[in-house]
Amino acid sequence: MQYDLVCRPASTAVRFALDAGESITCEVGAMIAMSSGITVETTSKSRGGGGGIMKGIKRMFTGENFFLNHFTSQQSQQTLLIGPTLLGDCIHHPLRSGSMVVQGSSWLASSSSIDIDATWRGFTSAIFSGESMFWVKCSGTGDLFLSSYGAIYPIQVDGEYTVDTGHIVAFEDTLQFKIGKAGKSLIGSFLGGEGLVCKFQGQGKLYCQSHNPPSLGKLLGPKLKPR
Amino acid sequence: MLDPNQQFRGGVFHSSIPDGRIGADIRITPSEIIAEPSAEALTVMDPSQVARMPRWVIPLSECQVDLGGASGRMVFCRNKERDLTIFCEERGFAAMLGDRSGGMLSEQLHVVKKRQAGENHRFRFWLTVGVVATLLFGVIGYYSVLAAARLAIAAVPISMDEKIGSMAMQTIEKEQKLAADHPATKFVTEIVDRLKPHAAIPEMNFKVIVIESSEVNAFALPGGQMVVYTGLLKKAESGEQVAGVLAHEMSHATLRHGLQRVSQSLGIVAAIQFLIGDAGGLLALGSQAAQTSILTSYSRQSETEADLEGARMLHEAGLDPESISAFFDKLKKEDGDIPGVLVWVSSHPLHEQRIESIAKFKSTLAKKEYTPLDLDLATVKESLK
Ligand SMILES: [Zn+2]
């Protein structure tokens, strides 16, 4: 399977060149265009084998869709073009071992060999950081495509690293994620507008995005007409 | 029993690895932790790199363990130089480490676990303190706004109440309004006239109309205009009971609860506008709020205030303050279960507490002979048939 990222970085899309029998699992609604030799199958299962209804339901809690779309090429030299919902960048992460914890809306697509599951992040982090209670856990060996709102930054963490809530795209399973206060005092943190932040500890790769979707929501929400 | 040849799936961090990380199969011998690149890791690797992939070894005697990772349960083993890390999340790995190291590494892991639990505990504590402090700020802020609104209202002329009341009055259906010389209208007007001199603001322009409707309801608008529904008159057993309702409603007007509602729902901005006298803007805002439902549904505190002020008025007017409770009690006992019809009761909840507080208030008043109203409710009821 070959891919390339087109129109980087502001409105990135991923273009796949698929050979007969190759397939890719995507977020529902991600498809932009495709050749006629590709078939689409919508299920709640991930192709890797596991899954089913429970995983579909769990996935819904992460903000992802209950269903997944599997695109399989029936012929050689087929093209599939996919893109994220929000304006922003996409990146490719080769998953070689272990797993990647992905923030709900950032998962875009992955090789069919990768298992997609939801993982519980706890009430505290959800309530106080505005992050989702569930995250998407991708494990196996294959290619992972993540999307961001705004630009995407890869960071190699070794030790400790602090990221503002809402700016996390994904992180490797070797990183520990904790909610902490930005400043010395908690009240100071709240008043400083930074509130609570996410602190990463350990060694591993972390992807951050330059903008955060909840802020956009807060900005736009009141200006939208009710439907 | 632990299987000595058990293999665990995990990974390795080392500078010699492209990307720094590789998936590995891990074994623990009695003296060492040995990691070798996993089969999957090798399949995606360049053949030239595969040849150069070594195996990584950490002697148990110099191993330093830590816990972490996304799950918090991943075990990290580091060598003395801390440039090589072998990690594993699989069940049984920690137990095997402990077993093979003769308990030394279990002890280390235990210390790490304890330290992390302590950190979490401390953070939770400060988080709770933070949340409580934030709530406290919020509550203090809320009550300051309320207090400010009250002060602002005190500075607003009564004519503003009247304007808002008149606007609201326009929204009320008056087709069913009874004529001024109708016995029912005369009846309620007489009661209001008797109570008026004892109101907190006697110069308030109290007016009352009767509307033909089966609803058991009555309300006062800001500025002193009141509406009584014939349904309420039909339900009342005595003139005193009607007087009780009217005294309560007149108190809402003199205590300016309608304006409080408006200022609370429009916020402190409107209250400041009141103060600086931007009447035009205010009236525009007021017309939006000039729905009787907003103006006549009050907070529990306002209701209690109106009860006590109404009781005071009744007492001064020579009527029994417990007339307010009496009507309540009757409605509740008779039709308490029928929703919808008894609007006045449903908009005036918690009546047991209110009856009690009125009785308590009455006991603080000087003893007085109450003179019954010299009005003929029976004739009024007859005229409504
Ligand atoms: Zn009331």
The confidence score (pLDDT) of residue A192 equals: 43
Q: Could you tell me if residue A219 is inside a domain?
A: no
For residue A67, report the distance from its CA to the centre of ligand 1, in Å. Answer: 54
Q: Which of B54, B63, B121, B116 is nearest to B94 (CA)?
A: B63
Q: Could you tell me if residue A119 is inside a domain?
A: yes
Please report, for the domain that includes residue A6, its CATH number.
3.60.160.10
Percent of chain B with pLDDT over 90: 21
The fold for domain B8-110 equals: PH-domain like (2.30.29)
Interchain pair B38, A94: CB under 8 A: no
For residue B139, report the distance from its CA to the centre of ligand 1, in Å. Answer: 25
Residue of B nearest to A179 (CA): B123
Residue B76 touches partner A, C-beta closer than 8 Å: yes
Q: What is the mean pLDDT of chain B?
A: 79
Burial B339-356 (b: 16+ CB within 10 A, else e): eebbbbbeebeebeebbe
Q: Could you tell me if residue A182 is inside a domain?
A: yes
Residue A120 touches partner B, C-beta closer than 8 Å: no
d(CA A35, nearest CA chain B) in Å: 28
Sheet-wide strand order for A142-147? A38-43, A68-73, A23-27, A107-111, A142-147, A90-95
Token output for A58: 């769990």
The percent of chain A in helix, strand and coil, each rounded to the nearest 5, is 15, 50, 35
Cross-chain CB nearest to B41 (options A96, A180, A203): A96
Q: Is residue A22's pLDDT more than 60?
A: yes
**Residue B198: band (very low, low, confident or very high) from pLDDT cuts 50, 70, 90:** very high
The domain limits of chain B are 8-110, 157-383
Interchain pair A97, B70: CB under 8 A: no
Helix (H, G, I), strand (E, B) or coil at B39: helix
User: Which residues of chain A make contact with B43, given a CB cutoff of 8 A?
Assistant: 141
Chain A, residues 141-170, CB within 8 A of chain B, namely 141, 156
Q: Is residue B186's pLDDT more than 90?
A: yes
Cross-chain CB nearest to B72 (options A98, A176, A180): A176
Q: What is the DSSP letter of A192?
A: T
Interchain pair B23, A172: CB under 8 A: no
User: Which residues of chain B make contact with A97, given a CB cutoff of 8 A?
Assistant: 9, 11, 21-24, 38, 40-41
Q: Could you tell me if residue A139 is inside a domain?
A: yes
The confidence score (pLDDT) of residue A126 equals: 45
The confidence score (pLDDT) of residue B265 equals: 59
**Residue A120: band (very low, low, confident or very high) from pLDDT cuts 50, 70, 90:** low
User: Which residues of chain A make contact with B129, given a CB cutoff of 8 A?
Assistant: 186
Lowest model confidence (mean pLDDT) among A117-126, B56-65, B222-231, B296-305: A117-126
Token output for B120: 């979490």
Q: pLDDT tens for residues B27-38? A: 998 889 999 988
A contact test, residue of B25, B26, B44 with most A CBs within 10 A: B44
B185-206 mean pLDDT: 92
Residue B129 touches partner A, C-beta closer than 8 Å: yes
d(CA A175, nearest CA chain B) in Å: 4
For residue B348, report the distance from its CA to the centre of ligand 1, in Å. Answer: 6
Q: Is residue B88's pLDDT more than 70?
A: yes
Q: pLDDT tens for residues B219-252? A: 888 889 999 989 889 988 889 999 999 999 999 9
Single-letter code of the amino acid located at B350: L
Residue of A nearest to B42 (CA): A96
**CB under 5 Å of ion ligand 1: residues:** B 303, 306
User: Which residues of chain B make contact with A141, given a CB cutoff of 8 A?
Assistant: 23, 40-41, 43-44
Cross-chain CB nearest to B68 (options A96, A99, A201): A201
CB B63 within 8 A of CB B77: yes
**Residue B287: band (very low, low, confident or very high) from pLDDT cuts 50, 70, 90:** very low
Cross-chain CB nearest to A202 (options B68, B124, B133): B68
> Whole domain around residue A97: which residue ranges?
2-210
Residue A203 touches partner B, C-beta closer than 8 Å: yes
Q: Could you tell me if residue A34 is inside a domain?
A: yes
d(CA A58, nearest CA chain B) in Å: 17
For residue A74, report the distance from its CA to the centre of ligand 1, in Å. Answer: 74
Q: pLDDT tens for residues A191-207? A: 444 456 778 889 999 99
Q: Could you tell me if residue A215 is inside a domain?
A: no
Q: Which of B174, B187, B173, B216 is nearest to B382 (CA)?
A: B187
CA–CA gap between residue A71 and residue A26 (Å, rounded):
8
Residue B70 touches partner A, C-beta closer than 8 Å: yes
Q: What is the DSSP letter of A48?
A: T
CB A195 within 8 A of CB A182: yes
B279 against B228, higher pLDDT: B228
d(CA A213, nearest CA chain B) in Å: 23
**Residue B173: band (very low, low, confident or very high) from pLDDT cuts 50, 70, 90:** low
The confidence score (pLDDT) of residue A189 equals: 41
Token output for B69: 């990772």
Angle between helix B93-100 and B104-155 (nearest 10): 140
Domain count, chain A: 1
Q: Which of A108, A120, A95 is nearest to A205 (CA)?
A: A95
Q: Could you tell me if residue A94 is inside a domain?
A: yes
Q: Could you tell me if residue A169 is inside a domain?
A: yes
The confidence score (pLDDT) of residue B329 equals: 78
